[in-house]
Copies of this chain bind each other. A is one copy, B any other.
């Protein structure tokens, strides 16, 4: 008995020592895809300040909440939001069950491959596409559908799975923050159930740390077995003013660091950077037309206009993708 416990203790100590050595090694250069510039320096300096126990800006680990937008911040969002690509694929897959779609907009245009025609109906058309593809099944069925799609669908430009269209420097940043005691959350306009189906594997962020837009649900017993049915009605939109509200509702703490890339993230950055105590606000600026895409003030996807002005006025960190990132995608 005594020997066993001693052995257990020794094993635990060795495992811990190894983990610690690994952490130390990584901390020495935890951001290899980041160029040595102002953006990287701002991140490293911020982390140093909030983790230095003797400093005036020390933040206890429990309070080290970092929130990340997803589309355009953790993974790409061109030529169309990836979740919208999923919705279009679903409409095509479901078309045989909906003969009425042949003559009903926005589906008729969509099925002819005319995306602009389909979206001529504006927000209402978009909502119809989202509802047709995201409601009318149980939450478990939807999870399987997303998992199947994400495992097989390919990005139209690179031919890569969408889960490879993630930003290597941001993967490093997530790991770097977690190694420094941060709890990392996604706070995205994307659908929460769409993201939860794959983000744990790709970003190391568990489902319970994902905040997003969502539809209404209904609890039902089917032959005595409970299911949650996804209804065709919007419940919460986690964008713009919705982001601080989503943070308050789902996390209940004010973040100390926020990472975004568009005007949809403006209020989340305001909410984070004006808290009492230190707060880091960072914007990923898409400036690399060669390795990724270059767009900002006039883009229909991920428009960055007001938030860019405010970033400059308030001194938030702006990442120039072309200059600040040595590598963009993991497959490069």
In the complex, are the beta carbons of B139 and A251 less than 8 A apart?
no
By beta carbon, the residue of chain B nearest A62 is B206
Known A24-B5, A228-B244, A244-B228; judge A252-B16 contact (CB<8 A): no
In the complex, are the beta carbons of A192 and B13 less than 8 A apart?
no
Asked if A100 is an interface residue, CB under 8 A from chain B, the answer is no
Q: How far apart sit A248 and B220, CA to CA, in the bound complex (Å)?
A: 14
B residues less than 8 Å from A21 (CB atoms):
5, 9
- Bitwise, A156-181 to B at CB < 8 A (1) or not (0) is 00000000000000000000000000
Asked if A154 is an interface residue, CB under 8 A from chain B, the answer is no
B residues less than 8 Å from A249 (CB atoms):
192, 214, 217, 235
Asked if A107 is an interface residue, CB under 8 A from chain B, the answer is no
How far is the CB of A114 from the nearest CB of chain B, in Å?
35
Give this chain's copy count: 2
A residues 180-215 near B (Cβ < 8 Å) are 183, 185, 192-193, 196, 200, 206-210, 214
Q: How far apart sit A134 and B55, CA to CA, in the bound complex (Å)?
A: 37
Quick one: which of B16, B24, B218 contacts A16, CB cutoff 8 A? Answer: B16
Quick one: which of B5, B14, B17, B252 contacts A208, CB cutoff 8 A? Answer: B252
B residues less than 8 Å from A65 (CB atoms):
208
Q: Contact residue range for chain A?
A: 35 or more
In the complex, are the beta carbons of A226 and B271 less than 8 A apart?
yes
Asked if A233 is an interface residue, CB under 8 A from chain B, the answer is no
Asked if A253 is an interface residue, CB under 8 A from chain B, the answer is yes
A residues 64-97 near B (Cβ < 8 Å) are 65
Asked if A120 is an interface residue, CB under 8 A from chain B, the answer is no
B residues less than 8 Å from A209 (CB atoms):
208
Quick one: which of B16, B62, B206, B252 contacts A13, CB cutoff 8 A? Answer: B16
How far is the CB of A63 from the nearest CB of chain B, in Å?
10
B residues less than 8 Å from A250 (CB atoms):
208, 250
Known A139-B248, A250-B250; judge A20-B24 contact (CB<8 A): no
In the complex, are the beta carbons of A207 and B270 less than 8 A apart?
no
Asked if A12 is an interface residue, CB under 8 A from chain B, the answer is yes
6 tightest A-B CB contacts, nearest first: A207-B252, A16-B16, A219-B241, A13-B13, A12-B20, A196-B252
Sample of 17 A–B contacts (CB below 8 Å) = A5-B24, A9-B17, A13-B16, A15-B16, A62-B200, A65-B208, A192-B249, A192-B252, A196-B252, A208-B209, A219-B244, A219-B267, A226-B244, A226-B271, A228-B244, A228-B245, A228-B248
